[in-house]
Structure 1
Amino acid sequence: MRKYFLTGLLILVPLAITLWVLHAIISTMDQSLLLLPPQWRPQELFGFQVLGFGAVLTVLIIFLTGLLAQNFIGNYVVRVWEGLLNRIPIVNSIYSSVKQVSDTLFSSSGNAFRKAVLIEYPRQGSWSIGFLTGVPGGDVVNHLKGDYVSVYVPTTPNPTSGFFLMVPKADAIELNMSVDEALKYIVSMGVVAPEHQPPK
């Protein structure tokens, strides 16, 4: 009975967590319906709340925004809007920082998180998996001797937080695994290990 119980648990727990996350995302996106006039909301049109209608509306708005930004007029409006935001003192620093990060992460020509590496962190004898994000820049280069690389070390089980490190290039061991495999390895706290690959 214990074996059957654990088997059922291993099947249902990931499914339940997945459904819970999807429900949380869809419910959050449904809040976008508040942007519609009251008479256009599903409660008024159909007499009941339509789960997921806000998610469809959000995806549609994002798609239309990207579509409009690709033409000349839309591109001009985006530039004017960004220029306006850059003139607001506090908003300027927040928006520009977030935009630089998002452009790097989501750009098809970007090189963020392209390689998984193994570094000795947080102390000698302990190893962590990190991701190459580039090379140090700015005034930092003037204070580093030798070749250094920028590495992001995510935390477990939440990889959206982590540590930004600049380590000697020779100390960053490139791993023969994809970024997706490395993320699964980190999120699962080492439980879901990638298949053994021969060294490069």
Structure 2
Amino acid sequence: MQINSQKGQTEEAYQRASRSGWSRQYIFRTMMDGALLLLPLAIILFALYLIFRFVFNLLVPISVLLSTGSEDPHWTVNILSLVVLLIFLFLIGLLVRNRSGKFYFHYLERNYLSQIPLYSTVRDTVQQFSGLKKMPFSQVVLIDPFKTGVLMTGFVTEEISKDMYTVFVPTAPNPTNGNIYHVPRQCIQFLDVGSDQAMRTVVSMGTGSSCLFNDDALLQLSDKASAEN
């Protein structure tokens, strides 16, 4: 009886831990989420460290000339290594700014770099944190996908090309449901409104939608209507 009682207490304690969300599986998954979040940053820092050490080793002979008789590298070598690293990063950035550089880089990325594990994760993380790539739902738009004059509140989830966007249009009052449209650029009106503010208009069944239509938005809509007529 005592053994069964202890077993029942153990199972009850485990169930309580599971219900409270502090089970072993929950703790493990939470730790993995934290590790996956920090992993791209750690990979980037490690790659920069390797490049810095490579440049540093190339400049070690200069240290020998500057500090004869000393085993420690001269402090100027560290500064020179950092300067060379920054110049190298600048030249790479300058290279991919022109059309031919972008073409060759995208070719290299598509055929080789994308095959490297975690490369896409690191790239997307860096682009999102640096602002080079917009986070999903960060850009609020009005779309007229059927060209009927009826506008829908949507959120850009991906820029397919310069002339084509993927837009999520949530349903009210539950914004977790909705429709996905692949919309050409001419059917989209970009708004200078925060995504949280626009989402509140969806949850509130359209109440407060006037925040979406400032003077600039109304002027652009008027110009589009005039051009179509």
Structure with more of its chain in helix, by fraction: 2
Rg larger for: 2
TM-score bracket for this pair, using the shorter chain length: 0.3 to 0.5
TM-score, scaled relative to structure 2: 0.40
